[in-house]
Structure 1
Amino acid sequence: MYPDLPKSYKGVYPFRLGTTSFIYPDNYIPNVKMLGPYIDEIELLFLESGAKESLPSKHEIDELSRLSREFEITYNVHLPVDIFMGDNNFLTRNYAVETVKKVMDLCEPLAPSTYTLHLSIDEKTAKTGCLDEWQKLLYKGMEKLISAGIKSEAVSIENLNYSIDWVERIIDDFNLSVCIDIGHLILYGFDLETVFNKYLDKTTIIHLHGVENGRDHISLDRISEDFIPPLMGILKRFTGVVSLEVFSYNHLDLSLKFLEKCWQREMGKMGSLPIHKGYELP
């Protein structure tokens, strides 16, 4: 038996609060059943493209659709991270396009709020800053994807270990959306407010997680206090999806409590959100 979350956070914030489908050591459906009563949206993680079991079956998609109605939740989808839209090998790029199309077709009945995509870069290109060829190949890959019938605004490009400005033209030219990963911005030394202000109008989802000693995707309470004011400033202006991108019950529980504490402190209304027994604000 898995532990329940202590309380519900449905409809509490001006944004839709979510987390990943990897909170409990089980498959998609058990995670959704456990999390559905407590949050607004679930990020379905499809991180591997090659393994057949990494994607849900048609039957599981039907069940996920039923659960969304039962719990009044929505989904977003994280596309596989082992595909490379800007690879110099045509077959690799083509495989990336085919994989994205396959996942989006499979998940269409779930009406996801967004499909998050990594535009990964190889270490050598990132270090040298010789971006022209990589950007041209990304452009070709995206052209092929859009020509396959994909709705461009349904795809959100996530910031990774390089400046998201490196793919700004691709985002603009193809009318793509943006996923701002706050943890990645902190980890790689980018300014939170500068990135958010620039891409606010295109941002459909924020990934939120803790960062400490070079580690990310840990509980939110591990981020430095210095980042709390800009983070709260961002969240106050955002009405999309905020996904606590952690991968265990303990990290999620701590993140939910920490976010609630920071939000109440920011709002200056100690009674604005219900506080579960045993949890006290400073």
Structure 2
Amino acid sequence: MIGSTSWVIPGTYYENALLLEGLVDFVELLVYTWDEDTKTLLFNEMDKLLQLDLSYTVHLPMDRLDNVIRAYNFFEEARFPVINYVLHPIKGWRRTLGEKVALENLKELIEPHNRMVFDVGHHFLGKKFPAHLKEAIVEIHAMGVIDGRDHLPLDRETAAFIKGFMGDLITENVLINFEVFDLEDLKNSLKVWSDTFVE
């Protein structure tokens, strides 16, 4: 499945998802923190999001563990059909583990887990993702990484690296999420990915 972040234009979760319907299979709902504004927006847009022909992942908050837990509980209690939760290994993260939580590699920290998110930008710009954890990867954060900058449109060199690094481990069960934050950048990334992986 191919996905995008919920921020490709300035707007709400639904406004972005509406634009992405038909372009991708899933949208990663970016929940950077958990406050009343975020909770209210998601509550008000949840039914509309479910009417779109999309699946959803959630990037859990990155600031504090209590916000992670509150956001996770919000989606679970609402029975919102999240196919994967992305979690940064912040202090105390093991308390939050549900069966759909996957741990992302950071530039400065990689914590082993049985469900991993491979962020290509973090790999290039920081600690290298350990080869022995490749089989635990359930989601890839794909993007271009050029001259020390990530979250750029996917380029052919980075796409070729992903293909070589993952090999036969890229299957229909691995989510491919383009972490670029512009609609045209996403469209360009999708073309490069298709040219690289679709034979």
Same fold (TM over 0.5): yes
- What are the residue-to-residue correspondences of 1:93-242 with 2, within 5 Å? 96=65, 98-108=66-76, 109-120=79-90, 138=91, 141-142=92-93, 145-146=95-96, 151=98, 153-164=99-110, 167-168=111-112, 171=113, 176-188=114-126, 190=128, 195=130, 197-221=131-155, 225=157, 227-233=158-164, 234=166, 236-239=168-171, 240-242=174-176
Unaligned regions of 5+ residues in structure 2, if any?
Answer: none
- What are the residue-to-residue correspondences of 1:11-90 with 2, within 5 Å? 16-50=1-35, 52-55=36-39, 56-67=41-52, 71=53, 73-83=54-64
Instruction: Evaluate the alpha carbon distance shift between residue 41 and residue 236 of structure 1 in structure 2; reply closer, same or farther with a 3 A threshold.
Output: farther
Q: CA deviation at 1:160?
A: 0.6
Whether the 8 Å contact between 2:13 and 2:42 is mirrored in structure 1 is no
Quote the Cα distance in structure 2 between the aligned partners of 1:79 and 1:30: 20
**Could you say which structure has the larger radius of gyration?**
1
SS of 2:72's partner is helix
Unaligned regions of 5+ residues in structure 1, if any?
Answer: 1-15, 84-95, 121-137, 268-282
Instruction: Evaluate the alpha carbon distance shift between residue 40 and residue 57 of structure 1 in structure 2; reply closer, same or farther with a 3 A threshold.
Output: closer
The TM-score normalised by the length of structure 2 is 0.85
Instruction: Tell me which residue corresponds to 1:5.
Output: none
Q: CA deviation at 1:235?
A: 6.0
Q: CA deviation at 1:249?
A: 1.1
Identity %: 30
Q: CA deviation at 1:48?
A: 2.5
Quote the Cα distance in structure 1 between the aligned partners of 2:188 and 2:103: 27
Q: CA deviation at 1:40?
A: 0.8
Whether the 8 Å contact between 2:28 and 2:58 is mirrored in structure 1 is yes
The TM-score normalised by the length of structure 1 is 0.62
Instruction: Evaluate the alpha carbon distance shift between residue 156 and residue 208 of structure 1 in structure 2; reply closer, same or farther with a 3 A threshold.
Output: same
Instruction: Tell me which residue corresponds to 2:182.
Output: 248
Amino acid at match of 2:103: I
| Alpha-carbon displacement from aligned partner over 1:134-177 (angstroms, at most 9, x marks no partner) | xxxx4xx245x25xxx52x321111011252xx22xx3xxxx52
Whether the 8 Å contact between 1:61 and 1:107 is mirrored in structure 2 is no
Instruction: Tell me which residue corresponds to 2:194.
Output: 260
- Per residue, is there more helix in 1 or in 2? 1
Q: What is the aligned residue count? A: 193
**Superposition RMSD on alpha carbons, in Å?**
2.2
Whether the 8 Å contact between 2:105 and 2:117 is mirrored in structure 1 is yes
Quote the Cα distance in structure 1 between the aligned partners of 2:146 and 2:160: 18
Whether the 8 Å contact between 2:106 and 2:127 is mirrored in structure 1 is no
Amino acid at match of 1:29: Y
Whether the 8 Å contact between 1:58 and 1:106 is mirrored in structure 2 is no
Q: CA deviation at 1:54?
A: 3.0
SS of 1:53's partner is helix
